[in-house]
Structure 1
Amino acid sequence: MNEFWPVELAEGPVGLRPIRQRDQRDWREVSSRNRDWLSRWEATVPPPAPGRSAPPRPTFRQMVRFLRREGGSGRMLPFVVTYQGRLVGQLTVGGITWGSMCAANIGYWVDESVAGRGIIPTAVAMAADYCFRVMGLHRIEVCIRPENLPSRRVVEKLGFREEGLRPRYLHIDGDWRDHLVYALTAEEVPDGMLQRWRDGGTAAPRNRRDSC
């Protein structure tokens, strides 16, 4: 049983809540309409080993069951992003690790029709504050393809540090892609990331791009 999940978070018109089976129609409509907008950044499955077949693509119902199971286990916080009560994207806190690391990573996407309204920075700030101030995690990472400038602007506005490059880190859009690593620790936002965002954000310091 995960004491930190399920949970709903909100800041003005922006909300984070667990994904539900009844989201299927809205999720499919947003995903289909944004196929071209999102396909360059979507995770894909690498080709199977010789002699093996690729696994079937999960149905929406199977995806929701998996995400709910991962949330209940404490390995993930699988949110949908809402704006004015409407589903407009997803944000996932994944790779939750305790022990000597106490860390997690955040990934997200948003409907192109509402991009640029501060929805995802607000959602990331809410999720990070929950991880730091409620769950007691110490470090949050966001890994982004170098070409994904809108996504990089999100974390830079929030003050994440650029730590370096992970070559061929994730299988995205049909191939292994390099990713820039951005990170933040709890000590760097003593008043909370959402408060920093409300105060106008901050410019992230740029480090030399080493491999890591």
Structure 2
Amino acid sequence: MLPLDAEHTLRTVRAGDGAALARAYRVNREHLAPWEPRRSEGFFTEAWQEQNAKDCVADAAAGRSIRFVVVTADDEIVGRVNLNNIVRGAFLNADLGYWIDERRQGRGLGSLAVATVIAHARDALRLHRLQAATLLDNAASQTVLARNGFRRIGIAPRYLHIAGEWQDHVLFQRLLDDPVTAPSAHP
């Protein structure tokens, strides 16, 4: 577990997280809908989330991805940060994705969680680069990336199928040998 602030820590997804993940996604269903692919009703069930948690553990063991949850002191899941599509060899790259519970936004928690994962990607995974993409109008997510040293590298037309349609995205990258300055939470 990695501390983020006085109330939150970051840990990897583990088997047994299904019920807590299902709760977190149900609470944030409307909040996340504009930013994510359309989800089936099954996605919001404990059974689906538990199987996905087990898949996350297997993917981490195989080195394909590592998925984290932001948790409170009583282990309530209030966010996710994912490193997907980890590529070794000459690339040493991963795709970064994240979300924070709607009730906890605007306090710097997303920025802290992303900063912690950047340090982990650099120091523990020995990656060279992270990439991220946001919808064109997702200013909050773009702010999280900017605070963490990501640089805009272009626009990808119809990049991902989000909220039921192919949508353009702004692409960002973070070279991990650049200095990392951890953002602080808002008071």
TM-score clears 0.5: yes
Q: Name the structure 1 match of 2:58.
A: 69
Give 1 or 2 for the bigger CA radius of gyration: 1
Paired residues for 1:100-119 under 5 Å: 100-119=90-109
- For the residue of structure 2 that corresponds to 1:106, the secondary structure is strand
Contact 1:83 1:119 in 2 (8 A): no
2:105 is aligned with what amino acid?
A: A
Q: Name the structure 2 match of 1:29.
A: 23
1:159 pairs with 2:153: no
Contact 1:146 1:178 in 2 (8 A): yes
Q: Name the structure 2 match of 1:51.
A: none
Contact 2:79 2:99 in 1 (8 A): yes
Paired residues for 1:195-206 under 5 Å: 197-198=183-184
- For the residue of structure 1 that corresponds to 2:124, the secondary structure is helix
CA–CA separation in structure 1 for the residues paired with 2:143 and 2:50? 33
CA–CA separation in structure 2 for the residues paired with 1:70 and 1:35? 25
Q: CA deviation at 1:106?
A: 0.7
Contact 2:15 2:57 in 1 (8 A): no
Q: Name the structure 2 match of 1:42.
A: 36
Deviation track 1:172-196 (CA, whole Å, cap 9, x = no partner) reads: 111111111111112322xx342xx
CA–CA separation in structure 2 for the residues paired with 1:87 and 1:61? 14
1:20 pairs with 2:9: no
CA–CA separation in structure 1 for the residues paired with 2:38 and 2:61? 25
Paired residues for 1:42-191 under 5 Å: 42-44=36-38, 59-84=48-73, 85-189=75-179
Q: CA deviation at 1:44?
A: 4.1
Contact 1:128 1:193 in 2 (8 A): no
CA–CA separation in structure 2 for the residues paired with 1:172 and 1:102? 27
Q: Name the structure 2 match of 1:10.
A: 3
2:33 is aligned with what amino acid?
A: S
Taking only aligned residues, the RMSD between alpha carbons, in angstroms, comes to: 2.3
Q: What count of residue pairs does the alignment treat as equivalent?
A: 180
- TM-score scaled to structure 1, two decimals? 0.77
Contact 1:129 1:193 in 2 (8 A): no
- For the residue of structure 2 that corresponds to 1:116, the secondary structure is coil
Identity of aligned residues (%): 29
CA–CA separation in structure 1 for the residues paired with 2:21 and 2:53? 11
- For the residue of structure 2 that corresponds to 1:165, the secondary structure is strand
Unmatched 5+ stretches in structure 2:
none
